Amino acid sequence: MEKDVQVLEDVTVRFAGDSGDGMQLTGSQFTNTTALAGNDLSTLPDYPAEIRAPAGTLYGVSGFQLHFSSSDIQTPGDSPDVLVAMNPAALKVNLRDLKKNATIIANENAFDSKNLKLAEYETNPLEDKSLEGYNVIPVPLTKLTHAALDGLTLSMKEKDRCKNFFALGLMFWLYSKPLEPTIEWIEEKFKKNETVKEANKRALHAGYGYGDTTEIFTTRYEVEPAKLTPGLYRNLSGNEAVALGLVAASHQAGIPLFLGSYPITPASDILHELSRYKNFGVKTVQAEDEIAGICVAIGASFSGSLAATTTSGPGLALKMEAVGLSVMTELPLVIVDVQRGGPSTGLPTKTEQADLFQAMYGRNGESPVCVLAASTPGDCFHMAVEASRLALKYMTPVILLTDGYLANGSEPWKIPAIEELPEMKVTFRTEKEGFFPYLRDENYARPWAIPGTPGLEHRIGGLEKANITGHVSYDTKNHDFMVRTRAKKVKHIENDIPDLEVRGEKSGDLLILGWGGTYGAITETVTRLLSKGYKLSQAHLKYLNPMPKNTGEVLKRFKQVLVPEINLGQLAYILRAEYLYPVESLTKVEGLPFKSSEIEEKIISMIGGK
């Protein structure tokens, strides 16, 4: 039967199942194929915190959401149009997020008494009419996958693992996507296991064929390519972007990159990614703990490398004494904090923006550091480059804040030309005459002298240094001078960063001011409201310490300022203290990014609209 093809502008799809059902892999393959088809997209992987949660339980559900479009998009979508639910738990956890009339494709073979009980269902939702209002399509995914793999020497458990490829093939058919990119991936991934390779290819083709031949589906859909700025693109996650940004900065500076790190969710992928770049002179050390990770990085910086350490909130807390050491020794160091839900171990796999206070103030003594924040997965590349530039130029540690949403999410990223990257001139001190380790240049930066350079022997450490000579000093006046000088150096960075830009009217009734990963949701909301005729403006902070020189001036041009952030109002607190301006907060700490509808509701209430 010939199926109708309906053209859509955008679609939000969510794959959900047990952590062992391969939902992240399924979502990633659908994403990569969608990117190759030229759609703009944004993703939101959602992992359970338990490594091996009991199968079928509510807290073991893993999800992957993808929003793809023929036009410019900024978020992974507020509410899915389609949910692929591999079991009852996946349905129950995700049902509340779906749009009215959303399509639910459910693996009906998994809705047995055992799984229904684990998901705390008293009756089968596929049969009890509780899903009225949704377009429910039961598909015997498990049974059909086993049939497709008949004759292969695989156990029942191994055949079960292929059902995600059946679901993927079905979704490729439903949204008119080609199979070839995933087939090429299967060929490469399983080239050493012919049986598994054949099984996954069969399951993929079977899912595609099922959509084409069954009478359940009368319509398939197509999302046309987006009109992106011409250039070379690749799909990129935030963690991959940070890694590539550090490699690019090392190339621009002409010095080797060194990463000292300890694995921690959700930052570990930066370590994994950088370990692949040995051919670019990158050295990675997986240290025995967080403290060792940053300390070996400080040692690498002392010896002339672009040094970095990566972590999440709990790890940053452990690193803080050593961050103070890098402040005292005035060595360049990039510290990447991929924020997650806290406090303590908190929500390891969920996102949050609650480390801002820690980044700004979480050290003993007066120890200011430069703090930056990335706004999108692709922007993680540019801010990693910028963090490196400032660290090297001003001989200071720089904390770069990303978050779990940016780190694991992805988007099409236009690969920049080398000529578009900033120049980073690194000059090591080699001249013995007139050398003093704390003699400063016009940026208050001290000279960088590599150990072993004849005549430039000097010592570093955590004790206070005498001005210019660098000798250990307990003199009270000297301490006061050095504390103020280090603060002046960080403050001086404001002369080397761009002004805060305002989108829309430069003054008016309402400014929406964000930072970090709230950018997408804020931008989408403001764009929609501007198109409806509302008067409002938008600005986004990437430089948090120091802030752009015109920040206070921008605030005072607006009658009201709203600051959405995924914490209890940390940036709002800082703005009130720094600029004495009564900004209003919109806060959320659910481990999830803002939905644009949540921001829109708050904006409408502030400006008296409907």
Check pLDDT > 90 for residue 512: yes
With pLDDT > 70 as the criterion, what percentage of the chain qualifies?
A: 100
Selection from 376, 374, 370 nearest residue 390 by Cα: 370
Token pair in block for residue 280:
């670019």
Query: Phi and psi dihedrals of 285, rounded to 5?
Result: -125, 120
Mark 244-283 as b/e (b = at least 16 C-beta within 10 Å).
bbbbbbbbbbebbbbbbbbbbbbbbbbbebbbebeeeebb
238 shares a domain with 213: no
Q: Indicate if the pLDDT at residue 1 is higher than 80.
A: no
Q: Which of 194, 223, 252 is the last residue of a domain?
A: 223
Tokens of 412: 């099409």
Q: Is pLDDT above 80 for 2?
A: no
Return the structure tokens found at 214: 């069954």
Residue 41 shares a structural domain with residue 148: yes
Looking at the structure, do residues 191 and 293 belong to the same domain, yes or no? no
Q: Which of 160, 191, 223 is the last residue of a domain?
A: 223
User: Is 520 a domain residue?
Assistant: yes
pLDDT 10s digits, 514-539:
999 999 999 999 999 999 999 999 99
Same domain, 537 and 427: no
Q: Are residues 196 and 279 in the same domain?
A: no
Boundaries of domain holding 98: 4-223
Rounded Cα–Cα distance for residues 159 and 195 (Å): 11
Tell me how far apart the alpha carbons of residues 238 and 242 are, in angstroms, rounded to a whole number.
6
Output b/e per residue, 172-181; b: 16+ Cβ within 10 A.
bbbbebebeb
Contact by Cβ (8 Å): 66, 45: no
Say if residue 183 is in the same domain as residue 94.
yes
With a cut of 90, say whether residue 52 has pLDDT above it.
Answer: no
Q: pLDDT tens across 340-394, in order? A: 999 999 999 999 999 999 999 999 999 999 999 999 999 999 999 999 999 999 9
**Does the residue 503 lie in any domain?**
no
Do 48 and 140 belong together in one domain? Answer: yes
pLDDT of 564 over the 90 cut? yes
Q: In terms of domains, do 263 and 399 share one?
A: yes
Total structural domains in the chain? 3
Co-location of 14 and 150 in the same domain: yes
- Domain boundary among the residues 223, 251, 277 is at 223
Confidence of residue 54 (pLDDT cuts 50, 70, 90): confident
Mean pLDDT of 74-93: 97
Confidence of residue 609 (pLDDT cuts 50, 70, 90): low
pLDDT tens per residue, range 96-109: 999 999 999 999 99
